[in-house]
Amino acid sequence: MSSALDPDLTLITLSQWNDQKLRRIADNGGGECAAPRTPQCAPGRRRHEMLPIFILLYVSSANSLCDGTCFCNYKHADQDYMGETVDCSHRNVDAKVNLTLPKTIYSLDLSYNNITSIDSSIIFDSSTMVELYLNRNHIVNLNCSLALPSLKKLDLSDNSISKIDGHVFDKLKNLEYLNLANNKFTSLDKLTFHRLTNLKEIVLDNNDIGEELRRVNLFDRSGLGLTAKIRSLSIRGVKLNRVPDNFFVDAYDIRKLVISNNNITDVFEFPFTLEYLDISDNPIEIISSEDFADLAGLKVLKLNNLKITEISGYMFEPLHSLTSLELERNMNLTKFDAFAFGKEVLEDADYFNLEELSVRGSRLTTLDKRLMEPFGRLIKLDLQGNAWSCDCKLYWIKQLQIPEEYRDHVRCFTPKSLHNARALELDAKYFSCKIGKGRVGGVVAVVTFCVILAIIALWIFIYLPRSQSRGNAIRQIHVSTATYSILPGTMPIGTIPMHDFGSR
């Protein structure tokens, strides 16, 4: 083994070892005396000869992530984004091995590996790292404090974590996004968020914490302690069957709420600051306009796969800012009221701000023609997968400008002759309204009644006047004949007929 060393490599390695004795050896060329050939200097000489061995051992035990292990790319940012983005996903990386980070690192992706625990490691100690992805591993426990003071985004989703040590978040003062979805949490007793004073978005999906949330408030400082700065909360699929009163009373600035795929049956009080709301996949049966009365700023509303049977009048009237509405997979939904968005939008579509509407996969059979004006303003309209009745009442939908990707499965369910036909491609002649057997009798009765009334009218205004005039003529003839039948010789003296008296 050669004793010649690169001076820069030697000094860097010695600074990492922080060994003052070895530093003196390097500075003196391997010895501590001025006569390196004397026997007294032999130990120093041996130490100099052994130094490369120690250095090589250290270097071999702390390889850089960018030396072929991972894909690294340096990026300059327009704002604060600068540094290496290190992609170690699908690389079978072991976090327990001493792997060094680039001097300036922005993002580290360790997803899709076989990491089972997060212990003290040099790769979790960085003053510049902003994003850390540890999702899709086999992590069970987090036992160490992450020394990442600049970290803003942490993804721990799709692991097997059941508890997190209370000190893990102590040094994450700037964390803004935390994803703990799809883990094994059943209780949050060991998990508190008090230290995360800048947290803005948290995802707790698909953890069995529904019962816990009924007892402990997420936003209460005496509870789990989520900061009032939270703007986005997702608790999808946590087996929550009821939202406690005043659950969001301390969430002053929450803009996005996803609470889908639970067992909620009754609509609860929504935070009035919401701009995005998803309550899909819950057994909710009734929704009224009062439930949305305070959501003037809501822009996106998802009401998919509920138990509702109708969209009642004025349900969405309070939602003046709404731009996207999903009503998909509502298998009991058969009625869509013409006044669902209020009366004003039917008279003046300028009040209609909705841009996207989907009723895909529901059970609607028809739509009121009065909706043509507001629906004609939509950028996206998805009517596919419903049981449409292709008759004269539905013909108007052919006039809507529906994009090609939303046209194919707008199919007729009735009449039988048009079953499964593409409704938007049918000619106008097929959209007819035939009179059913039940209506024939009614129509005949009405026609018969009208005919009878006409006959009576004719009799009153034509036949009856003629009859009256004939009767008067006959009576006049009869009176005249009676007058002349009494001869003057036979009339009693002094008797004068009444009509002659009247003529006088």
Q: Compute φ and ψ for 30, nearest 5 degrees.
A: 110, -5
How far apart, in whole angstroms, are the C-alpha atoms of residue 38 and residue 32? 11
Give me the pLDDT at residue 46, please. 47
Domain range summary for the chain, segments of one domain joined by +: 7-61, 285-438
Give me the pLDDT at residue 141, please. 83
Give me the pLDDT at residue 439, please. 56
CB 139 within 8 A of CB 161: yes
Q: What is the pTM of this model?
A: 0.76
DSSP string, 450-504: HHHHHHHHHIIIIIHHHHHHHHHHHHHHHHHHHHHTS-TTTSPTT---HHHHHH-
Per-residue pLDDT of the chain (504 residues; tens, 9 = 90+): 433 333 333 333 333 334 444 444 445 544 444 444 444 444 444 444 444 444 333 434 457 888 888 999 987 655 556 789 999 999 998 877 778 888 899 999 999 999 998 877 778 889 999 999 999 999 998 878 899 999 999 999 999 999 887 788 889 999 999 999 999 998 876 567 888 999 999 999 999 999 989 888 888 777 788 888 999 999 999 999 999 988 998 888 999 999 999 999 999 999 999 999 999 999 999 999 999 999 999 999 999 999 999 999 999 999 999 999 999 999 999 999 999 999 999 989 998 999 999 999 999 999 999 999 999 999 999 999 999 999 999 999 999 999 999 999 999 999 999 999 999 999 999 999 876 555 555 666 777 888 888 888 776 777 666 655 555 544 554 544 444 444 444 444 444 444 444 443
> Could you report the per-residue pLDDT of 14-44, keeping only the tens digit for each?
333 344 444 444 455 444 444 444 444 444 4
* Residue in 247, 258, 254, 257 with CA at minimum distance from that of residue 213: 247
Give me the pLDDT at residue 67, please. 85
Sort residue 313 into left (φ over 0), alpha (ψ -120 to 50) or beta: beta
Strands 256-258 and 232-234: parallel
Give me the pLDDT at residue 465, please. 65
CB-based burial label for 217 (10 Å; 0-12, 13-18, 19+) = buried
285-438 homologous superfamily: Ribonuclease Inhibitor (3.80.10.10)
